[in-house]
Copies of this chain bind each other. A is one copy, B any other.
Amino acid sequence: MRVDLLLTNVRPYNSYCKQFLEADIAIVNGRFLYIGSTDIAQLQPAEVVDGQGAYVIPGLIDIHMHIESSMAAPLPFARELIKNGVTTIVAEPHEIANVFGIEGIRAMLAAGKDAPIDILFGVPSSVPSTNPELETSGATIELADLAELLQEDRVVCLGEVMNYVDVVYKPEAKINRLIEYTQKTKPHLPIEGHCPRLLGLELARFIYGGVDSDHTQQTLAGMKERLLNGMFVEIQEKSLQRDIIGFLTEQQMDEHFAFVTDDVMADSLITQGHLNHIVKQALRLGMKPEQAIYAATFTPARRMGLKDRGSIAPGKQADFVLLDNLADFSIVSTYKNGKAVFHRDSPVTDPAQAGLFPAHFYHSVKLSPLDIDSFRLLVDSALPVACRVMTVSTGTTFTQAATAEVAVNNGELDWENSPYCLVGIFERHGKNGNIGWGLAGGDVITAGAIATTYAHDHHNLLVIGRNKHDMLLAANSVIATQGGYCAVQDGTVLAQVDLPVAGILSEAPMAELGRQVQVLKAAMRQLGYRHNNPIMSLSTLSLPVSPALKITDKGLINVNEQKLVSLFL
């Protein structure tokens, strides 16, 4: 019979015996037909490719990730992924959903439609991250939105459920209605979870509530408890520890975990790679390639009910990667649906393609330019006042809540002469014009200012600074470009990343965006930002589900108690 492609002289990975075999691979209509040697004479291939002894593995599948973490639009993002052997992702677009709701998700679906990889989606279940009392988002995701999105072919799961308190203790909460609706209408659909540190009966109740995976950083004890209670565990780089790898291997937990990236920033993406980077890290920690490949191909496909991929077997999508070296995991080429989409000897074309989103997505920062008075905090006192301070520490995105006396000068809080930065969150969705104020200390900037609309999850305008003039310049630069990140020192813009799509995404080619982010990080360091991941640190200062004291347009949030607290004690 006629086949489109016959790949000879290769060592395909067999996902069922978890071994590399020696066999030819025949492909018809974008799907594997035959993997073997005995019946090759019966095939008439239109094309024969000599694999030169390469290992062939299924295309990598990342089932828990957020495209927006890279600040890139789906198309340039996908073009970068094929270089890294990733052929399928399940993206959870809760960032853009916080700006544009279901319209944002639909725009991501549309923008990713012609990508060289399959971009599948989870429906964000926690938009906003808390509730309208604690933060103003541009939009929310409600039951009706979920019902509509579950009809989409490319929607394959309910996105990560973040608020375990609502799941366990508040049966009437919206999240429980979303879970119940999903279970009722699509009982086979995975429901992704987020439950760091939950253990014992509370963990059991969270799982009982319908959530059957966790992708957060885990200790060995937390990992074990999740696995033995039937959770599917998604291992991101932070969980890649030697004791965990040892446990997974010795206890033969192969079926119950997958590697995921969760968040990869633009600069890491262009320098380190993507899911292949996690695989490489696992190999460095002593995992066998056969096991690591399984966790990046077979189990993620099965977890998401993707019967049509994840192995090199008859009928599966011919998504595969040629490697010339297992130990280094060095990629020679990537094929999608039986067609070569990347070879390491030819650059991938990644032209700037702006305008793939609806026109109003480029006008999402509904703020007029600020003036210097915007940053004056008037206080009805002449004496120093006790203030709450968000204390930032490197190595974590959690802050600690501290208290400090700050002087008052002419009825104005004299934060510029304190050791603290002022942080302002300006509601920018055109909803209410709220401004939330706070102070931040610790491993943040010691000079200048930074402004960004890339502020999780509501993506209002966050401005942090050590002086009003730099804050004003940074803020107005971001407002003028309709979103992005801007770092300023002494009246000079050190770095600016334009994120004109919904104020959070760039349509620049990935390499260019990656370089911009590198420049931004360098600028943040120059401003004294000591945190190991300054962008993630700053952008989560506004995330009111991340402990302990955070800030939104409503003001300071005591995260553990989920309530607003005042700046002044």
The contact of A187 among B14, B251, B307, B315, by CB within 8 Å, is: B307
Chain B residue nearest to A201 in the complex (CB): B39
CB–CB B200/A315 < 8 A: no
A230 within 8 A of B: yes
* Residue among A1, A204, A251, A253 with the highest chain B CB neighbour number at 10 A: A204
The contact of A308 among B15, B187, B316, by CB within 8 Å, is: B187
CB–CB B28/A201 < 8 A: no
Contacts of A209 in B (CB 8 A): 315
The contact of A315 among B15, B16, B201, B207, by CB within 8 Å, is: B207
A207 to B315, CA, bound (A): 6
CB–CB A42/B188 < 8 A: no
Query: Interface size (A, Cβ < 8 Å)?
Result: 48
CB–CB A208/B315 < 8 A: yes
A93 to B296, CA, bound (A): 39
Contacts of A39 in B (CB 8 A): 200-201, 204
A180 to B401, CA, bound (A): 58
Interface residues of A in 196-243 (CB under 8 A from B): 200-201, 203-205, 207-210, 212, 227-230
Quick check: which of A30-38, A259-267, A375-383, A414-422 contacts chain B, the rest being far away?
A30-38
CB–CB B200/A314 < 8 A: no
A468 within 8 A of B: no
* Residue among A38, A253, A255, A316 with the highest chain B CB neighbour number at 10 A: A255
A256 within 8 A of B: yes
A305 within 8 A of B: yes
A359 within 8 A of B: no
CB–CB B208/A28 < 8 A: yes
The contact of A31 among B17, B208, B316, by CB within 8 Å, is: B208
A497 to B229, CA, bound (A): 48
A564 within 8 A of B: no
Given A36-B200, A205-B33, A208-B28, A188-B17 contact (CB < 8 Å): no
A125 within 8 A of B: no
CB–CB B314/A207 < 8 A: yes
Given A16-B227, A188-B305, A305-B188, A315-B212 contact (CB < 8 Å): yes
Chain B residue nearest to A168 in the complex (CB): B1
Interface residues of A in 115-130 (CB under 8 A from B): none
A313 within 8 A of B: yes
* Residue among A21, A28, A208, A210 with the highest chain B CB neighbour number at 10 A: A208
CB–CB A229/B313 < 8 A: yes
CB–CB A251/B210 < 8 A: no
Chain B residue nearest to A225 in the complex (CB): B36
A212 to B188, CA, bound (A): 18
A540 within 8 A of B: no
Given A187-B308, A209-B315, A230-B16 contact (CB < 8 Å): yes
Contacts of A42 in B (CB 8 A): 201
Contacts of A256 in B (CB 8 A): 16
Contacts of A32 in B (CB 8 A): 208
A311 within 8 A of B: yes
Contacts of A21 in B (CB 8 A): 228
Given A39-B201, A188-B305, A314-B208 contact (CB < 8 Å): yes
CB–CB B315/A210 < 8 A: yes
CB–CB A204/B255 < 8 A: no
Contacts of A208 in B (CB 8 A): 28, 31-33, 314-315
A468 to B299, CA, bound (A): 63
Interface residues of A in 2-50 (CB under 8 A from B): 14-18, 21, 28, 31-36, 38-39, 42-43
CB–CB B308/A207 < 8 A: no
20 further interface pairs, Cβ-Cβ under 8 Å (given A16-B229, A209-B315, A229-B313): A16-B230, A16-B256, A17-B228, A31-B208, A34-B201, A34-B204, A36-B200, A36-B204, A39-B200, A39-B201, A42-B201, A43-B201, A187-B305, A188-B188, A203-B314, A208-B314, A208-B315, A230-B315, A252-B252, A255-B255
The interface of chain A, by Cβ under 8 A from chain B, is 1, 14-18, 21, 28, 31-36, 38-39, 42-43, 187-188, 190, 200-201, 203-205, 207-210, 212, 227-230, 251-253, 255-256, 305, 307-308, 311, 313-316
A-B contact pairs, 22 of them (CB 8 A): A14-B228, A15-B230, A16-B228, A17-B227, A17-B228, A17-B251, A18-B252, A33-B204, A33-B205, A34-B201, A187-B307, A188-B305, A188-B307, A203-B314, A205-B314, A207-B313, A207-B314, A212-B307, A229-B314, A230-B314, A230-B315, A252-B252
